[in-house]
Structure 1
């Protein structure tokens, strides 16, 4: 430690020597600061080659090109109830609230990131005792230190604070994306299950009618016991199938309540409602947008910055730590209750901490932090590639679900025609009630498959919206090309 001490009681002949020592210390500190200012820790290259367009995006010929881009992708369902649920979840979700609280804390700490590198001032008192225990003193004074943050330490400290803030921002965005996707998923699941219950009730009623007619025909000798038993088994299976959608309805309602921060579901949710529908749509986002909107990518980028900050601290620890320190102390003898002969002393100068015997350990720590920085950069690249793969997978699955829905719609329309013709034949006396019940059952089973396809397509769209992390997607046009199946047509 280089220290220039100033004692007011010294004669004038000592002042030039003190001034000479002070200027020597100043020259040493200035030279060290100049050399240390060149030390920095470069950030790794995080560039990732991305395709210019999505391979599985819908073609422009099959999708509207004039639809405006929207980041509120859930509004594509054109369901005011869903929009309201998302707004309520954004305002009351507990996970999102936690993330927002952590963001506020990170902002406060980031605003004071450089406080450890600013001068501080302390007021202290102490009661030292002479080694011979013949006297004690009361010391009162001020001391101050100012760490210069050389050799990249200041840059590293600010990087750590910035990475914590960026991580908190990413966590908030991640919570928002997850909450909106979960609310939409549970709402679609709830509405799908309600429609499934309605169709399964219709199938059960039709099978009950079929069994009643078969029992009557059995009494008349027009049907066998085997036919009657098969009808009764099918009726029991239809009754048992009702348990699945009812369990799903209750589970989805409870999940929605948790997402909205409520202790119990809203009874209005359990009222029958139509399944929100998707129409033709287009992609306005490009692969590069994923880098700007995916919160997990932003989080990994902040992790790279954090690792770079830790490496900067480890590298700075290998070099001397220079601090400007100063103090002024007054002393009073407690035994004689009088000031000492020299009751005040002031000191000012640089304090230098040079690692010697533990330099090897510090170098090993710096090398390890360098490897961790490389690992963080590799994790970032993997997250980017994984994000692009998720979007491509969701796009491909969404297109396949669209084709599935289209095929099921055609099958349902055909069986709807069969059911209608059966009733016409019944009026002409060419078909029986058993024939009508069988045609209705086949139609409702086709409607059930179409409902499942529409629900699966909606869920794939939700997965796409989540995988894009809020990137702009084209608005959905109302779907009017297919009639609603089942009891709600």
Structure 2
């Protein structure tokens, strides 16, 4: 065996390994953003210390409701949309493993038998082959590294997408649950009002039978009672639909979930504030958008590396003979070893078009990333001002409610004394009920807005979790 013919191979390998320290294409840099120092609507916001539940990502525990906690845990395990997103996450993780595998040599084996002839006088020759082949593509220009970089960024984007889907589903469930509890309170209010109107009707009938009041007072009292009973009945289908929505969110048929009515309403939590720059680290949808920018940036490097030759070190060895009996013998041994450079000399503009496509794709992801950031700022500002204004509205509404309750008490006493007609009672009763329901609806809106604000702030998620998942 003459090894001198391979005396240049170490030199080739040394130069190749030295070149692998560089990678063609741009290194990633976060796109520039116009990030304000503080939210406009944060002025006057009551700051709350970060809650432990929020820090752990269990933000729904801020509402201190055991039934709600149980439902969210069931959602985390059984929701089918979440399961689909988790499957996409596992696909992205597998792509990263596939990209890493490209750095290692590929080993293959083969065996076979063939019959053939080289001329009329040679006759038919049978040949037996047994071989082992190895090939290793050296990442001289960084094509494989950029491809791995793109796959890792895509995997982290998928992990962030999974977190965003989970947060969105959790937010939807919590909002439905809180609205259901507000509806329970509305039901109790209407049931109590119906009982009060029944007593008023009885009183009016007694006064009519005694000849004190006209028949019109009785019909007005009956109309008021039946109208309120209809409102109470109307709430039942609305509550049922909320319960059905919650059932689907936790992955069970609506027939398998019953949420018992309860007398307590969850308290409105104090939501810890944040500054705009923190949203870039706390919102999974923004993190996903940035990871797609990273992936697109790496793909530019892959496209540029296509202009450079591929260097592959290949080796093969085995046995080839014409007789099965002495097939695996030293004289039948064959082998080869050496480097190979492969370069596309003409492709009709395919590589140029691919580079142009990847650069345009990068610009697209940058624009989408910036839009995601702007949308997140808008959402936080919207929910901050909504909660702030509704807090002021709730104070005024409470004053109106207190006044309507006092007015109702006075006019009912006046009616019993015979100083006012029943029409005055009906008007004041309608006003009082309207104020009661408005106050409850306002509380429901505040609870919903608090959930939306927590979700807009990221729900306790942090971008550092992506680094943990990609290990």
1:117 is aligned to 2:107: no
TM-score of the two chains, using structure 2 as the length reference? 0.84
Please give the residue correspondences for 1:206-355 in structure 2 after superposition, counting only pairs within 5 Å.
Answer: 223=214, 237-264=227-254, 269-278=259-268, 281=270, 283-333=272-322, 342-355=331-344
1:451 is aligned to 2:440: yes
User: Tell me, which stretches of 5 or more residues in structure 1 are unaligned?
Assistant: 1-7, 9-14, 473-489
Aligned-residue offset at 1:393: 0.9
Matches of 1:307 and 1:59, distance apart in 2: 41
The equivalent of 1:183 in structure 2 is 173
| Aligned counterpart for 2:68 among listed residues 82, 89, 93 | 82
Structure 1 counterpart SS, 2:7: helix
Structure 1 counterpart SS, 2:111: strand
The equivalent of 1:41 in structure 2 is 25
Q: Is the 8 A contact 2:50 2:272 kept in 1?
A: no
Structure 2 counterpart SS, 1:53: coil
- 1:364 and 1:25, CA in 2 relative to 1: closer, same or farther beyond 3 A? farther
Structure 1 counterpart SS, 2:110: strand
Structure 2 counterpart SS, 1:318: coil
Matches of 1:191 and 1:368, distance apart in 2: 52
Matches of 2:255 and 2:291, distance apart in 1: 38
Structure 1 counterpart SS, 2:102: helix
Aligned-residue offset at 1:431: 5.6
The equivalent of 1:158 in structure 2 is 148
Matches of 2:50 and 2:91, distance apart in 1: 40
- 1:360 and 1:23, CA in 2 relative to 1: closer, same or farther beyond 3 A? farther
Q: Is the 8 A contact 1:210 1:438 kept in 2?
A: no
Backbone CA RMSD of aligned residues: 3.3
The equivalent of 2:384 in structure 1 is 395
- 1:471 and 1:164, CA in 2 relative to 1: closer, same or farther beyond 3 A? same
Q: Is the 8 A contact 2:23 2:146 kept in 1?
A: no
Structure 2 counterpart SS, 1:177: helix
Aligned-residue offset at 1:372: 0.7
- 1:338 and 1:307, CA in 2 relative to 1: closer, same or farther beyond 3 A? closer
Matches of 2:155 and 2:295, distance apart in 1: 10
Matches of 2:435 and 2:348, distance apart in 1: 76
Aligned-residue offset at 1:387: 0.8
User: Tell me, which stretches of 5 or more residues in structure 2 are unaligned?
Assistant: 462-471
The equivalent of 1:469 in structure 2 is 458
Structure 1 counterpart SS, 2:116: coil
- 1:285 and 1:455, CA in 2 relative to 1: closer, same or farther beyond 3 A? same
- 1:263 and 1:282, CA in 2 relative to 1: closer, same or farther beyond 3 A? closer
Q: Is the 8 A contact 2:204 2:218 kept in 1?
A: yes
1:92 is aligned to 2:82: no
Structure 2 counterpart SS, 1:129: strand
Deviates most, 216-225 or 388-397: 216-225
Matches of 1:278 and 1:350, distance apart in 2: 70
Matches of 1:59 and 1:139, distance apart in 2: 83
Matches of 2:282 and 2:48, distance apart in 1: 23
